[in-house]
């Protein structure tokens, strides 16, 4: 009878150590991905380019060139940045990458 309770309890205790480990897929600074990372609170999260479309993900919303995000208009979507126009200003949102590319 003691074995029935001992094994699950032991498994539970051993797995609780995994909670202290860092998640390698978690963004380094969540503020950069959920607003507040760039001027005006715009956070560029992704850029999708193909022959027939250009899409950017800003603050979790999908936008195309010419569309609005808040008070800004998406002027251009390029490979590594997006240009926003707002209140007579031009803002460049850079696509942030923490990954360092190395040759094998």
Query: Which pLDDT tens digit goes with each residue over 4-47?
Result: 778 777 777 777 666 667 777 776 655 555 444 455 688 899 99
Domain range annotation of the chain: 29-97
pLDDT at 97: 63
CB 93 within 8 A of CB 81: yes
Q: Which of 29, 22, 40, 43 is nearest to 95 (CA)?
A: 43
Q: CA-CA distances (angstroms) from residue 16 to 2, 19, 67, 100?
A: 21, 6, 47, 32
How many residues would you count in the chain? 104
pLDDT digits (tens, 9 = 90+) for 50-69: 999 999 999 899 999 999 99
CATH for the stretch 29-97: 2.30.30.830
Dihedral, CA of residue 24, residue 30, residue 33 and residue 34, to nearest 10: 140
pLDDT at 35: 46
Where is average pLDDT lowest: 12-21, 37-46, 75-84, 95-104? 95-104
For residue 49, is pLDDT > 90? Answer: yes
Mean per-residue pLDDT, 78-103 = 83
CB 59 within 8 A of CB 37: no
Rounded Cα distance between 65 and 102, Å, is: 33
For residue 101, is pLDDT > 60? Answer: no
pLDDT at 98: 57
Instruction: Give the helix ranges, DSSP H, for 22-61.
Output: 30-33
For residue 85, is pLDDT > 60? Answer: yes
């Amino acid at each position: 009878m003691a074995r029935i309770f001992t094994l699950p309890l032991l498994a539970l205790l051993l797995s609780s150590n995994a909670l202290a480990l860092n998640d390698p897929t978690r963004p380094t600074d969540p503020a950069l991905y959920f607003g507040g990372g760039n001027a005006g609170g715009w956070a560029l999260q992704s850029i999708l380019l193909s022959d027939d479309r250009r899409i950017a993900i800003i603050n979790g919303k999908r936008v195309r060139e010419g569309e609005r995000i808040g008070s800004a208009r998406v002027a251009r979507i390029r490979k590594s940045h997006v240009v926003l126009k707002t209140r007579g200003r031009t803002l460049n949102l850079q696509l942030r990458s923490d990954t360092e590319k190395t040759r094998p």
